[in-house]
Chains A and B, each alone.
Chain A
Amino acid sequence: MEHSENHRDQAGPACRPGPAGALPQKVPAPASRPDDPPPTRQAAAAARRAGKNLWALARMIFVLALFVPLVVFMMYVNYTVDRSGIYQGDQYLRSVAQMLLSGQDITGYEQLNEQQRKILQILVNQFDPVPDTIVLGSSRIMQLDTRLAGLEDGQFFNCALTGADFYDIVGSFYLFDRAGKLPQNLIIGVDPWLFNTGAEATDARSDKELYAEFLTQKLGIPQEYEAEDPNLKWTSLYSPSYFQSNISYLLQSQGDVKRPQPVVGDLYNQLTEVKRYDGSLLYDRAFREQSQDAIDAAALYQTSNFAFVEYYTQVDSDRLEIFQSYLSYVKSLGVNVILILTPYHPIAYDNAAANADHYAGFMATEPAVRRVAAALDIPVYGSYNPHAIAGVSSADFYDGIHCRGECIAKFFPGVPAALENQANGVDVSLDYEITAEEAALRDSEASGDSGTEPV
C-alpha cells in the first residue's frame, strides 16, 4: 500500500476545490450563439451520427451472429444427449415403467430425472396388484430397498422422487388413493424442507394441482397453489451447466447416448445410475466409490448452501397441521404409516447445529415431526442427527445429505419388525439432541462396558 501524502487520488481527478458554500451562479444560456453551426450543418452532423450508430449496430449484430453456431451447438447437445430426459416423449416413459414392472433394473436413469413424476403416475395405474409397502420421499430415502425393508420381491416399491417436496409427498399418495390401489404400509421419508414454505423448498416439477385436489377433495381444505413452471423445458435448452452435464455424461457413457435401458452385465459395475426393479436407486460406481475426502468435501461444500433449508427460519405451522391431517387421513384408510428421518452427514449436521439460529427451521423440524407422530401413534425411525444413531459415521454417506443403505439398516429394522414393534408397544424413540461428544462417550461405553454391538 502506498502511503504518500503527495500521491494523487487514484480514482481520478477530484472535484475542483472550492470554498464551502461558494457555488458559481448559473448563467442562462443564450437562445442561440454566434458560433452555432447553421441548421444544415447540424442536420448533416445528426445524419453522420445516425449513420455511425447504424454502422455500430450492424457490427454488433455481426459479432453476435458469430456466436449463434456455438449457442445452436449447445442447444443441440442439450436436446439430443438430454441427460435428465427433459425432451423425451411419453410413449417412451410407458416402456420404462413396463421395464420396471417386469422386474428389470434400468441403467442411465439420470435421463429420467425430470420425468419421474410422470413415470410414477404410469406405474400406479399399472400396478397389479399394488405392492404391500410403498415408500414416499426424496432421493434421501431412495437407498431403501426390498432387502432393507425385510420383504420379498413384489411386496415393496420405493416411489421416492428426486427433489421431492411437500406437494410430492401428499400428491404421490393421492395417486394411489385416487386409483383405489392402497398399499398396506406406507413409509414416508420426512425431509426437513417439507415444512419450509419458501420458494427454495418447492420443486418446480411437483404437481401442485394434484396436491390441491387432494386437500380439497379428501381433507376439505381448499388450497391456493402455483402453476407448474412452463419455462423449465426451454431454460434447460440453453443452460451451460446442463450442457456440461451432458458432455460429462457423454464422456462417462463413452459416447453411447442410448436412452435408459435394462442393465447388461454386472449390476454393480455400471457407469450410470441404476433404477432398481423395486424403485430404489443404485448410484453409479464412481459416485459410490468416492474417497472419504471427496465425500467430506462435498458435505462441507453443501454447508455453504444447505439444500432447501438455507432460508428456513421456522416450521410452517399451517403445513404441519396439513401434514397431521394427511397422516390421520391415511391411517383412517387402514394403512400403516412409518416415518423415517434419514440422517445428515456429521459435517452438515454439526454446521447446522453450530448455527442453530440461522438454521432454526431445520433444527425445529424433528421435534415437530415427532410431536405429530406421537399424537397419531406413528413410529418414527432414525433422526436427522447422525450422532443420535449408534454406529453412524461420515463413512455412511455419499455426500452431505444422502446416506447409504447400510446407514438405514443401522436404525430401521425392516417393515415386519417395525410393525411387530408397534404391535408390542416397543419404544423406538432415540435421543435426537445428543451431541457428537456425548455420542462418542455413548459408543465407547457401549463397546467398552458391555462389549456388544450397539443396537
Chain B
Amino acid sequence: MDILTLPFLLFLAGACAVYYIVPRPARAAWLLCCSYLFYLYNDANAPYVAVLLGATVLTYGCGLALEALKPRWARRALVALCALACMGGFFIFKYYDVAAAGLNSAFGTGLRALNLVQPLGISYFSFMALGYIIDVYRGKCRAERDFFYYALFVSFFPCIFTGPIERAGHLLPQFKDPPRFDYEQFAGGVFRILWGFFKKLVLAGTLATLVDNIYVGIARDTYPGPMLLFMCLAFCYQLYVDFSAATDIAIGAGQALGIQVMENFRRPLAARSFTELWRRWHISLTSWMRDYIYIPLGGNRKGKVRQYANQMAVFFVSGLWHGATLPYVVWGLANGAALCIGKATAPFRRRMEPYNPLYHFAPVRSLCKTVVTYLVFAACFVFFVVGVHGGTLADAGYLFSHFFTGWGEFFGDWPAAVKLMASLDVTAHAFAATVFAAVLVEGFECADVPVHRLIRRIPWPLRLVLYYVLAVFILFFGAFGSSGFVYQNY
C-alpha cells in the first residue's frame, strides 16, 4: 500500500478507530492483523509475505534458543547462522542478480538471473530482526516469549515501508502496554502525517522534477555548470525532505496509535561538521551500523588507524545497503573518507580557527561551517544521485568535470538561461510554492522539538490556519501521481 494515497489514510483511520475501541489486551493482535493487511494489500507483495513470516519465525525461534543455550560457542554459532540466514535472504533478493551478472561477465560462470522482485521493506525488517537477535545474544534484551508481539515488532506497518529501523527494546514494551486514547497525542500524530504529505508532495515532488529533468540533460550535454551544480545541491535537500517526509508519516501513524516511533532525522543539513551531520542523518541506520558493525569491529578502542578502517567498513556496508552498484559503493566510501579526513584534521583546524577572520563572529562561523559541511556532503552525493538514476561512475565524472563550465554563457545570455530553466517543466507558481514550503519547513523544524509536539503549543486559531495553508498547498501544488519515496526502493 502506498502511504501517499487515500486508501492508506482510510486504512489508518480504520486501524485507529478499531484500535481504540477494542480492549487493550487485544490491541496488539489488531495491529498485527493491520500490519499483514498492509503488506498484503498490493498483489505484488502477497507472494513475499512468506519472506516476512519466515524471517519472523526464524529470529523468534533463534531468540528463544539463544536464551536456552548456555555454551558460549553454541550461542555464537547460532547468532552467526541466524545472521547468515537473515542476510542471505536479503542478499538473494537484493544483490543476487547483480552479483550473478558481474560473475558472468568476469568469469563466464553462466549463472542465471532470478529476476526476483524485492519484497516490500526487506531492508528494514531484516535489519530489525537481526538487531533483535544480536541484542538477545548480548543480553541487552530478553527473548520475546509471545510470538504475536514479536511478529508485530517485525512487521509493524508504519515502519515497514521506509523504516525507521526500530529496536525491539523500544517497541515491544509499548505494544505490551498500549496507552489510553489521548487527544493531544492523536492530533499531534495526525499533524505529523499532514506535515509529511506536505514535505513530500509540495517540496520533494517539485525538487524531484527539477533534479530529474536536469539529470536527463547529462546524456545530451544540455545544461551548463550552474544548473548541474544546482541539481546536485538541490538533490541533497530533495532526498532529505523525501526521506524525512516518509519518516514523518511513519512517526505520525505510530503516534496516532499511541506508539512512539524513533526520530530518524534531526535537521542534518544544518550540521556544522560532517560527524555531526551523520549523527543526525538516517539515525536508525547509522546507529544500527554503529552498534552492530562498528563497535564489534573494535570501534575507536584500537587506535586511530583501526578506527578509520572501521569507519570505512561501516560506510562501505552502508553504500552496499543502498544498492549493489558502483556509484552507491563509491558514495559510501566517499562519505567514510570525508569523515575520516574530518576527524584526522580536526585538531589542526581547531588550532587554525583563531587566524580565520570569518570565525571571529559566532553566527558567521556557524554559517561557514554549515555551508562547507553541506558542500562536502553534496559532493559525496553526486555518486548517490547517479545511483538513484541508474547511472554509472562516468556520469559522476561528467558532473564533477562540468560543474565549473558554462558559467559565462549562462549568466551572459540571460534570456537563453531563462528558456533553459523553463524547459525543466516546473512552473513559476510551483517553484514559488516550493520556496515557500522550504522556508516553512525549515522555520518549523529549526526548533529543537518534533513538529507534532511543537504544533500543540501554538494557539489553536493559528494552528487551524496552518492546517489550512498546508492543505491548500498540497491540493494546488502537490505532485500527485509521482513516483514514491526514494527510500522505499532500498
Contacts and interface: CB of A to CB of B under 8 A. Distances in A.
B147 to A, nearest CB: 16
A423 interface: no
Contacts of A293: 213, 216-217, 220, 222, 423
Given A240-B474, A297-B216, A1 B278 contact: yes
B480 A294 contact: no
Contacts of B69: 20
Given A1-B314, A70-B475, A11 B468 contact: no
Interface stretch (A92-100, A122-130, A241-249, A254-262): A241-249
Nearest to B135: A14
Contact of A297 (B67, B213, B464): B213
Given A1-B314, A12-B262, A291-B423, A300 B216 contact: yes
Contact of B478 (A240, A297, A358): A240
Nearest to A296: B216
B127 to A, nearest CB: 12
Contacts of B41: none
Nearest to B290: A3
Contact of B464 (A1, A18, A63): A63
Interface stretch (B54-62, B118-126, B281-289, B445-453): B281-289
Contacts of B172: 15
A420 interface: no
Contact of A11 (B66, B170, B180, B425): B170
B48 to A, nearest CB: 14
Interface string B140-156: 11110100000000000
A1 B67 contact: no
Interface residues of A, number: 50
B290 A2 contact: yes
Contacts of B290: 1-3, 7
A452 interface: no
B139 A17 contact: yes
Contacts of A301: 212
Nearest to B389: A300
Interface string B167-178: 111101100000
Interface in A1-34: 1-5, 7, 9-21, 23
A297 B44 contact: no
Contacts of A296: 216, 219-220
A288 interface: no
B291 A9 contact: yes
B275 A5 contact: no
Contacts of B139: 17-20
Given A4-B300, A59-B183, A358-B115, A10 B169 contact: no
Given A11-B287, A13-B169, A20 B339 contact: no
Given A12-B169, A357-B113, A244 B476 contact: yes
B423 A294 contact: yes
B159 to A, nearest CB: 11
B283 A10 contact: yes
Interface in B237-267: 260, 262
B480 A244 contact: yes
Contacts, number: 152
B295 interface: yes
Most chain B beta-carbon contacts within 10 A, residue among A4, A11, A291, A357: A11
B167 A3 contact: no
A17 B220 CA distance: 59
Nearest to A242: B480
A1 B142 contact: no
Contacts of B219: 296
A305 B476 contact: no
Given A10-B287, A66-B468, A70-B475, A1 B279 contact: yes
A59 B476 CA distance: 27
A15 B186 contact: no
A296 B310 CA distance: 43
A49 interface: yes
A421 interface: no
B47 interface: no
Interface in B187-221: 187, 212-213, 216-217, 219-220
Given A19-B139, A243-B475, A244-B480, A13 B311 contact: no
A14 B167 contact: yes
B477 to A, nearest CB: 8
B280 to A, nearest CB: 9
A15 B141 contact: yes
A91 to B, nearest CB: 32
B330 to A, nearest CB: 18
B472 interface: yes
B300 A18 contact: no
Interface string B276-312: 0011000110110111001100011100000100110
B115 A240 contact: no
B22 interface: no
A429 interface: no
Contacts of B287: 9-11
A446 B247 CA distance: 57
Interface string A148-178: 0000000000000000000000000000000
A74 interface: yes
Nearest to B300: A3
B299 to A, nearest CB: 5
B474 A1 contact: no
B70 to A, nearest CB: 8
A193 interface: no
Interface string A50-68: 0011011001100100110
Given A21-B68, A240-B474, A2 B170 contact: no
A294 B169 contact: no
B166 interface: yes
A277 interface: no
Nearest to B136: A20
A267 B301 CA distance: 77
Contacts of B468: 66-67, 70
Nearest to A52: B183
Interface string B396-428: 000000000000000000000000000101000
Contact of A15 (B145, B168, B464): B168
B238 to A, nearest CB: 15
Given A12-B262, A294-B423, A296-B216, A67 B471 contact: yes
B284 A11 contact: yes
B181 interface: yes
B467 interface: yes
Contacts of A304: 483
A238 B164 CA distance: 32
Nearest to A198: B43
Contacts of B183: 52, 55-56, 59-60
A10 B288 CA distance: 10
Contact of A23 (B142, B186, B299): B142
Interface of A: 1-5, 7, 9-21, 23, 49, 52-53, 55-56, 59-60, 63, 66-67, 70, 74, 240-241, 243-244, 247, 291-294, 296-297, 300-301, 304-305, 311, 357-358
Given A3-B307, A52-B183, 13 more contacts: A1-B315, A3-B310, A5-B295, A9-B170, A11-B170, A12-B170, A14-B135, A15-B173, A21-B67, A74-B475, A240-B478, A247-B476, A304-B483
Closest 10 CB pairs of A and B: A14-B169, A15-B141, A56-B183, A1-B278, A11-B167, A12-B170, A241-B480, A2-B279, A15-B169, A11-B170
Interface of B: 44, 66-69, 113, 115, 135-136, 139-143, 145, 164, 166-170, 172-173, 180-181, 183, 186-187, 212-213, 216-217, 219-220, 222, 260, 262, 275, 278-279, 283-284, 286-287, 289-291, 294-295, 299-301, 307, 310-311, 314-315, 339, 423, 425, 464, 467-468, 471-472, 474-476, 478, 480-481, 483
14 contacts: A1-B290, A9-B167, A11-B169, A12-B260, A14-B141, A15-B172, A20-B142, A21-B67, A49-B180, A66-B468, A70-B468, A244-B480, A293-B216, A305-B483
